[in-house]
Amino acid sequence: MNTGSGLKVIAILDYYSSPCFKCILTPEVFIKPHLSVSLSLSLSLCQMDGSVGPMRVLVTGGSGLVGRAIERVVKEGGGREGEKWIFLSSKEANLVSAEETRAAFKKHRPTHVIHLAAMVGGLYRNMRQNLDFWRNNVHINDNVLNMSHEFGVVKVVSCLSTCVFPDKTTYPIDETMMHNGAPHDSNYGYAYAKRMIDVHNRALFQQYGLKYTAVIPTNMFGAHDNFNIEDGHVMPGLIHKTYLAKKEGKPLHVWGSGRALRQFIYSLDLARLFLWVLREYDEVEPIILSVGEEDELTVKDAVDAVVEGFGFKGEVIYDTSKSDGQIKKTANNAKLRKYLPDFKFTPFKQAVKETCDWFAANYDTARK
Amino acid sequence: MPILCDHYYIFGTLATQDVYLTWMDGFCSSTRLLRSDHRLSMGLRSGEFPGQGSKISMSAEETRAVFERHRPTHVIHLAAMVGGLFRNMRQNLDFWRNNVFINDNVLQAAHDFDVVKVVSCLSTCIFPDKTTYPIDESMIHNGPPHETNFGYAYAKRMIDVQNRALFQQYGRRYTAVIPTNVFGPHDNYNIEDGHVLPGLIHKTYLAKKEGTPLQVWGSGRALRQFIYSLDLARLFLWVLREYDEVEPIILSVGEEDELSIKFAADAVVEALGFEGDVIYDTSKADGQFKKTASNAKLRKYLPDFKFTPFRAAIKETCDWFVANYDSARK
């Protein structure tokens, strides 16, 4: 490339080759006081038809429930020719640190990012440590979004949650309602930090035209979850408790009346949808990824599926002295259905059986 | 005379305490540390010692270095990236990020250095766009802010979130105030970028000087509550010393003292002795017609607090502007 002033630019090409490409200068641009300029280029590919070519996708939080599901879906045909997928875990980089985040981006040079990393925890830890949940997650999110911007990442898909929505609200909730009031008092630190991903995305779009976005799953479950009974979520908690009850020949104690209603989404279905969002979903406003309202299930339905999944034959006792949590937190998946009217979710009982089988086979190494 | 700028200073020494202040000059991050060994009096006597120019805002390390050097026991946190309507609209990302960093750096350093109390500064402009009036302290998070400055607004709201989290996790009683429209000497008098009163003062000054009419944007009917910077400063000191809640407090004259822009323009015209035509350009937006804030909480604590009469405050401000025109920020 020759610039008008007579400087010769030597482009260091990566392994991409394409008829046309867009060069994005990274912070390492330096100009020697001679006639040549050395550039370290981070290439973003554009094919002749305007679409983005082979991608390098960095998945933060890559070793978690969703990260592992994405890894499996990519391996089993969801990935495309020439794509590189990098699954980052906290062992490799502490994303609370701007320097470590920058080092990871420099090393992997992603064109796309799926941002799943977060400080998460159960109800009681959130209640005790709202400051840590707020600060650590704000730092993680700012580091990832800011480095993505700086390194010319074309698209970032972050992960929100229905638990960040306003505490006082009407149902069903939809994507427009996220900021319409204060979140629940027990986890406002986590909730605000997640909401601010959406604020950051909108500001990046308004100021730089970047279309970074986010998804909002409902209750996820699947292999590689956190099955800790105290600290985990309802499905993995039930699975672990039923496994132990069967093993020890004891009754299964379920917290609450069993009447609370939830929408569950299998991690592999979520992973398939994540890939669709990464490639096709073009809005900045987030999108709820969930089964529809008509597929809302009671906790008792979930218990029955787990009991069947393990072949548990003992007694099931509902401890009504324990709280049900919210009786209903129905989310509207109309936007998803508008885009993907034919998407088929894995039947619930089958998904639960697969997860139970995985847990039984991997009990020793499962996170609990 | 206390130094005031588009955000205002309050400084003084309270017995053995150093009041440490952060101040931003436009968009550059320089810190001025103002310490006075004089006891505070109602007249807010000031002494300004040579400041250290050091970068504070976006760098946690530099913020900590400043705290390390000065070891404050209390902090009044006024520093922010601010700007007029149009700059906000163009740069929501910068307003969001820079302010979140500034605020996190100051609040976290304060916590780490065991600062007893931090009083931060919010604004009525961060409240929900769709709301009922009058607004009060409990309503800040009840809905999204106005689209034009959501970056700035959310960053300021998160000060309150962080204060509550610091209290819940560590028992820290860091708090914040919510002023309405502030005015006074040392303001930012830039006509394009500034707020309504300093803009009016500057425009009237020029109209008088050049013998041209005074053009006021809007119909003049929009209503505002104005608070004189010196009154606000006195209240800041009361908050620092006596106000014990974590929930923020609105610092403002009452609803009954809400004034129209026309009333404010008349006061400025009178103060500067302007005798030319005053033209209301109704093609320009009025902005929000009313954004009445309730000062009931303030009045519960300080039923007898006397605000400086509006005309007197305007006169003092105009006199200052005339005397300091060359060096005033504009």
Catalytic residue among B8, B9, B20, B152: B152
Quick: pLDDT tens for A6-15: 333 333 333 3
Distance between CA atoms of residues B198 and A146, nearest Å: 36
Given a cut of 50, whether residue A23 has pLDDT beyond it is no
Looking only at the bridges linking them, the beta strands covering A287-289 and B226-228 are unpaired
**Cβ-Cβ contacts under 8 Å, A132 against chain B:** 169
- pLDDT tens for A213-224 read 999 999 999 999
Q: Taking CA atoms, what residue in B is nearest to A168?
A: B142
Per-residue model confidence as pLDDT tens digits over A268-283: 999 999 999 999 999 9
**For residue B186, is it left (φ>0), alpha (ψ between -120 and 50) or beta?**
left
Please list the pLDDT of chain B residue by residue as tens digits (330 residues): 222 122 222 322 222 234 444 433 322 222 333 332 222 221 222 222 223 333 345 688 888 988 998 899 999 999 998 887 778 888 999 999 999 999 999 999 999 999 999 999 999 989 999 999 999 999 999 999 999 899 999 999 999 999 999 999 999 999 999 999 999 999 999 998 778 899 999 999 999 999 999 999 889 999 999 999 999 999 999 999 999 999 999 999 999 999 999 999 999 999 999 999 999 999 988 877 888 999 999 999 999 999 999 999 999 999 999 999 999 988
Residues 6+ apart with CB under 8 A from A14: A41, A43, A109
Task: Please check whether residue A168 touches B, CB under 8 A.
Answer: no
Q: Are A133 and A122 in contact (CB under 8 A)?
A: no
Q: Which residues pair with A266 in a beta bridge?
A: A221
**Structure tokens given for A248:** 């020890």
| A301 Cβ contact list (under 8 Å, min separation 6) | A348
A27 prior amide bond cis, ω within 30:
no
Beta-carbon separation of A179 and B144 below 8 A: yes
CB contact under 8 A, B165 and A199: no
**pLDDT value of residue A54:** 81
Q: What is the 3-state secondary structure (H, E, C) of A93-146?
A: CCCCCHHHHHHHHHHHCCCEEEECCCCCCCHHHHHHCHHHHHHHHHHHHHHHHH
Q: Is the peptide bond before B134 cis (omega within 30 degrees of 0)?
A: yes
Burial A103-133 (b: 16+ CB within 10 A, else e): ebbeebbbbbbbbbbbbbbbeebbbebbbbb
Catalytic residues of A: 190
Q: What is the pLDDT of residues A227-253, one digit of tens each?
A: 999 887 889 999 999 999 999 999 999
- Comparing CA positions, the residue from A167, A186, A185, A183 lying closest to residue A127 is A186
Judge whether B174 counts as a catalytic residue. Answer: no
| Distance from C-alpha of A96 to C-alpha of A100, rounded to nearest angstrom | 8
- The helix/strand/coil state of A23 is strand
Higher pLDDT, A354 or B55: A354
Alpha helix (H) residue ranges in chain B: 60-70, 85-90, 92-112, 150-170, 196-210, 229-241, 261-272, 296-301, 310-323
Q: Which CATH architecture has domain A56-361?
A: 3-Layer(aba) Sandwich (3.40)
Mean pLDDT is lowest, of A49-58, A164-173, B43-52, B252-261, for B43-52
> Can you state the angle between helices B196-210 and B310-323, rounded to 10 degrees?
60
- Per-residue confidence (pLDDT) for residue B62, from 0 to 100: 87
A191 touches chain B (CB under 8 A): no
Q: What share of chain A is helix, strand, coil (3-state, %, to 5)?
A: 40, 20, 40
Contact B161 A179 (CB under 8 A): no
pLDDT for residue A305 is more than 70 = yes
Q: Which of A8-12, A112-116, A126-130, B86-90 shows the lowest per-residue confidence on average (mean pLDDT)?
A: A8-12
Domain regions of chain A by residue span: 9-39, 56-361
Say if A196 is an interface residue toward chain B (CB within 8 Å): yes
A199 touches chain B (CB under 8 A): yes
Q: What pLDDT, on a 0 to 100 scale, did the predictor assign at position A248? A: 96
- Inter-chain touch B96–A199, beta carbons under 8 Å: yes
Of the partner residues B143, B158, B166, the one whose CB lies closest to the CB of residue A192: B158
Amino acid at B273: G
User: How far are the Cα atoms of A274, B213, B236 from residue B77, in angstroms, in the given order?
Assistant: 42, 40, 11
